[in-house]
Structure 1
Amino acid sequence: MRRLVIALLASTALVGTASAADLARKSVVSAPVVMAPNWTGFYVGGFIGYGWGSNDWSLVDNWNNWGGLSNDFDGFLGGAQIGYDYQFNNMVIGIQADITGASLEDKSWYLDEYYNNEASWIATVTGRLGFVADRALFYIKGGAAWADHDSSWSWIGDYYSSSGTRSGWTVGAGIEYAFAPNWTMFLEYDYYDFGDKNYYFPALDTTVKVDTDVSAVKIGVNYRFGGPSAVSARY
């Protein structure tokens, strides 16, 4: 009888040990393994934001020692972007093109003269360099920029306006975060410098130079194509 009891106890202990080991193995197998985002591939997206800037007016031939004036403008903007990124280790390089529809406008009065500036769109082609930290991509960017810009002036019934495409350069920085499979969102600041442009005013028989720069803050989303999803998990 004693031998039978000892045998039953030993069998129970062995079964319990095997069950615990099996449970441990199942726990290890079923634990989720979160994969790091893969930033390599093409993407498209859109954004909204707010922009502001200044237009510094001065005389090219300052025959009357006019000190000039600064005509600020601001407004909302929105647009779309397309690009490609390539990731190696924790670094990301890429190229991006975007087009922004803008409503930047303001006017100023100086004595009895009226000055107005408008920008209706901005486009850029930039290179990007970033650093990956978990699901976040911290990046800087820079490249070429173009804008549709209109400057106008009126004085005692005389009115003059000139519009055209201004070219310049841009730099910026931002953070992009992978929040869902193939989807990312970003927050970005950009600075644009379009240099100066000369405008001839027939009424005064003089040429005025307008120096323009713009800043913008954007928030937007990207959809990333190709390969595995930007954020995925294995079970």
Structure 2
Amino acid sequence: MRKILMAGVAFAALNVASAQAADLAARPYTKAPIAPAVVGYNWSGFYAGVMGGYGWSDRVSVGGLTTSSSDLQGGFGGGQIGYNWQAPGSQWVWGLEVDAAGSDIKYSETGFIGIFPVSLEDKVRSFGSVTGRIGFTTGPALFYAKGGYAWADNRISLTVLGLNYTESKVLSGWTVGAGVEYMFAPNWSVKGEYMYADYGTSTYLTGVVAGGVDLGATTHTVKGGINYHFQ
């Protein structure tokens, strides 16, 4: 009797398993939908950071004579603050930025007037700008152009017969350039940038040379930097 009962139970279990297998086979297999990962990059808000780079002269004007020169060159380092606007759903970004840097961009020369040694140094001690910029985002990258007001603290140092004469002036001009910024982590971005600046012409050495000497220069700078975004 026990054998007959066990056989009946096994037969019933086999029929249930077969029915379930047939039911599963009749259903088409579909994968559960997976929502695509969406990463948003919001450039709106205030930011601040540090930067550094290298600069050189492009055109030097002395007393009305203009020549191409890259003798005025050197490094610099400083920082920037700014604000970006980006409309929801838009890839366009508008912004304002203020930057300033201490500089070692300079040129020096030593020679003789007759038998007397003379040395001259022209040094951009610091410079900065106030610019507007417009950019276009693609993923975490922001490609932008910028331009606006530029200033530079330029110093001329002249030594003749052991006597030193130094004159510093803050020059005003304009600047324009472009760059790319990359959001590599939440609130953090790195950037690379090129700028061209023209600081105009000013008169130096009026206390040494009759009528003074007019000096003017344009510069190129390349820089890298990192920003923190307060979002």
**TM bucket by the smaller chain?**
0.7 to 0.9
Give 2:17's match in structure 1, choosing from 5, 8, 19.
8
Using the TM superposition, give the Cα deviation of residue 131 of structure 1 relative to its aligned residue in structure 2, in angstroms.
Answer: 0.7
Q: State how far apart, in whole Å, the 2-side matches of 1:13 and 1:151 are.
A: 94
Residues 7-43 of structure 1: per-residue CA shift (max 9 Å, x gap): 533312445788965xx32x615xx613231111111
Equivalent position of 1:215 in the other structure:
220
Q: Residue 107 of structure 2 aligns to which amino acid in structure 1?
A: D
Query: Relative to structure 1, is the Cα distance of residues 69 and 39 closer, same or farther in structure 2, using a 3 angstrom cutoff?
Result: closer
1:5-154 to 2 correspondence within 5 Å?
A: 8-15=17-24, 21=30, 24-25=31-32, 28=34, 33-53=37-57, 56-59=60-63, 72-88=71-87, 89-109=90-110, 112=113, 113-154=118-159
Matched-pair identity in %: 36
The 8 Å contact of residues 71 and 115 in structure 1, kept in 2 or not, is answered as no
Equivalent position of 1:160 in the other structure:
165
Could you tell me the TM-score, scaled by structure 2's length? 0.80
Larger RCO (alpha carbons 8 Å, 6+ apart): 1
The 8 Å contact of residues 100 and 123 in structure 1, kept in 2 or not, is answered as yes
The secondary structure found in structure 1 opposite 2:18 is: helix
The secondary structure found in structure 2 opposite 1:44 is: strand
Structure 1 unaligned spans of 5+:
61-65, 227-235
Using the TM superposition, give the Cα deviation of residue 211 of structure 1 relative to its aligned residue in structure 2, in angstroms.
Answer: 0.4
RMSD: 3.1
The 8 Å contact of residues 119 and 159 in structure 2, kept in 1 or not, is answered as yes
1:166-177 to 2 correspondence within 5 Å?
A: 166-177=171-182
Residues 70-123 of structure 1: per-residue CA shift (max 9 Å, x gap): 683211111111111111311110001111111112212466353310111112
Query: Relative to structure 1, is the Cα distance of residues 117 and 11 closer, same or farther in structure 2, using a 3 angstrom cutoff?
Result: same
The 8 Å contact of residues 71 and 108 in structure 1, kept in 2 or not, is answered as no
Structure 2 unaligned spans of 5+:
1-7
The 8 Å contact of residues 97 and 130 in structure 2, kept in 1 or not, is answered as yes
Could you tell me the TM-score, scaled by structure 1's length? 0.79
Q: State how far apart, in whole Å, the 1-side matches of 2:173 and 2:196 are.
A: 11
Equivalent position of 2:200 in the other structure:
195
Q: State how far apart, in whole Å, the 2-side matches of 1:67 and 1:174 are.
A: 29
Equivalent position of 1:63 in the other structure:
none
Q: State how far apart, in whole Å, the 2-side matches of 1:148 and 1:75 are.
A: 15
Using the TM superposition, give the Cα deviation of residue 3 of structure 1 relative to its aligned residue in structure 2, in angstroms.
Answer: 9.5
Q: Residue 10 of structure 1 aligns to which amino acid in structure 2?
A: A
Equivalent position of 1:185 in the other structure:
190
The 8 Å contact of residues 122 and 156 in structure 2, kept in 1 or not, is answered as yes
